[in-house]
Amino acid sequence: MVSARPNELRGGWSEKAPYEISVNAPGGVERLSGLDIEITRSVAKHAGYRVTFDEVDWDENVSAVREGRMDFAMAATPEESRRAWAWFTIPYRKETIALVTRKHEAPAWQSKDPVDRLKQLLDAGSKLAVMRGFYYGPKVAALLNQTEFSAQILFFENDSGSLNALLSGTADAFLADQLSAASAAAHANAMHLITANSNPIYEADLSLMFSKKNVSAQILADFDTALSEMQSSGEIKRIKRYYLIPQLLLITMKTSWFRVFEFIGTIAFAISGVIIARRERYDIVGAYVLAALPAVGGGVMRDLISGRSPIGIIQTPSLLLIVLGTVIAGFLFFTIRDLVSPHGKSRPEESTGQPIRWASTRGGLEISDAIGLATFTIIGVTVALEQRCEPLWLWGPIMAVLTAAGGGVLRDVLRSQADIPTLKGSIYPEIALVWGLVYSLVILSKGQELNVREVVLLTLVVMLAAFVSRILVVQFRLRSVFLGRPPSLD
């Protein structure tokens, strides 16, 4: 049934991250969110209307709009067959459809044209998963309607269903919006198992679709006016930045290579604490505290300042287990070494006045530490975006510094060390600050124009730059700029 209240419009939604999602709000209450939801709410409010949402499958949502049982549907393609019974607003976002296959299976279809590649797949007898009632463009629609392929087309209610069919072997490929497919894979920890065709199979502008049986031309005009004004003011762009960019960064951080770098960096930060604990004769509990602070302490500080809930360490407790494993390994190493050589002299440390030997233990730790610095810089900016810390050009670099260097500062404060190495000595937080700023500024300049591939490339470039910067600092023993001259030794 349509809404009986004046100025209230009723539509449908279905789970499709990052466009339409249900999230847990404070107090355990679920609320609707996502790009399409927030744009629809904001435009309706600007136009003087209120919108409500019922959870229905996309196919049912379209049928309800056509029959007048619902007032609107979001993210609809204004195809000609729908214009007889539906109004369409001006476009508010674009959609890019990709052909998704299992990793390393895509080369089996060699055509550069993605539609030809899809036809080759179907001609070979492979099964294709699609979303029920979804429009993939005229060329794909013509293929899907061919009776010879009808037994090979599998229908699902959302992209998660299609992804599960692909991973289980029920389907050989599926069609989906590039970002939606990547989001589903990221949440399923399956980014390393799938690949999307680089050339889109279909691109289209998407609009709000209203039922002509319930919605007047005046309401359509009100929504068009509101959309135009919000696009001119930058409000639509701001909403897209809030919902699209964090999702793109989340997808990047779910990739296997980023997780490896995070793992290496966490271990390197933990080892620094273990070495200090050994030198200053802490027990194993003290060693764990000194190891955990640089590894996760900065992230905890960042989350508390930004209001993130739950804080990251609760979402990924595996980091604490990595730290624990590092401490136990260090404890066993030093215990065995002391038993084997109880009166032996420790191997002399490399002099800070000599060039570092990168093949040595210290060189390996410096490389791992540089990887951690680069990785944690990216994570800091990502959290700033996720928590809507504005302006990003200010809070992005600050969160990068807190994540990468804040834990080390906490550790040295706990030790009551007057000369905190992170703040008085080798250039370290400055690297996170500079490259966190660069990362934030590029994101701000590109905004919603970024796609998954561009974000991955940007992330790799910034991480490489931060890594190389730290290596050069260590190699040439560069020092921070001090506020005053050192005290006289006379």
- Partners of residue 101 on adjacent β-strands: 173, 195
- Over residues 435-455, mean pLDDT: 86
Alpha carbons 175 and 194: distance in angstroms, whole number:
12
Range 8-93+205-236: architecture per CATH: 3-Layer(aba) Sandwich (3.40)
Alpha carbons 32 and 361: distance in angstroms, whole number:
51
List C-alpha distances in Å: 435 to 207, 373, 429, 440.
37, 10, 10, 8
Alpha carbons 305 and 402: distance in angstroms, whole number:
10
pLDDT tens across 415-441, in order?
Answer: 765 566 666 667 899 999 999 999 999
The DSSP secondary-structure symbol of 16 reads: B
- Over residues 281-310, mean pLDDT: 90
Within 8 A by CB and 6+ apart from 143, the residues are 115, 118, 119, 122, 149
Q: According to the model, what pLDDT value does residue 246 have?
A: 84
Just give the CATH number of 95-203: 3.40.190.10
* Confidence grade of residue 413 (pLDDT, cut at 50, 70, 90): confident
Q: According to the model, what pLDDT value does residue 36 have?
A: 96
Per DSSP, the residues of 276-331 read: HHHHTT--HHHHHHHHHIIIIIHHHHHHHHHT-SS-HHHH-THHHHHHHHHHHHHH
Q: According to the model, what pLDDT value does residue 481 have?
A: 72
pLDDT tens across 64-116, in order?
Answer: 999 999 999 999 999 999 999 999 999 999 999 999 999 877 555 556 788 88
Handedness of CA 384, 389, 392, 393 (dihedral sign): negative
Judged against a pLDDT cut of 90, whether residue 8 lies above it is answered with yes
Half-sphere exposure of 246 (CA within 13 A, CB side): 21
Residue spans of the domains in the chain: they are: 8-93+205-236, 95-203, 246-339+353-475
Whether the pTM exceeds 0.85: the reply is no
Q: According to the model, what pLDDT value does residue 348 have?
A: 44
The shares of helix, strand and coil residues in the chain, as percent rounded to the nearest 5, are 55, 15, 30
Please state the length of the chain. 490
pLDDT tens across 341-357, in order?
Answer: 766 555 444 445 566 77
Report the percentage of the chain scoring pLDDT > 70: 89
Range scoring the smallest mean pLDDT among 50-64, 348-362, 468-482:
348-362
- On whether the CB atoms of residues 163 and 188 are closer than 8 A, the answer is yes
pLDDT tens across 184-229, in order?
Answer: 898 888 888 898 887 889 999 999 999 999 999 999 999 999 999 9
Q: Are domains 8-93+205-236 and 95-203 of this chain identical in fold? A: yes
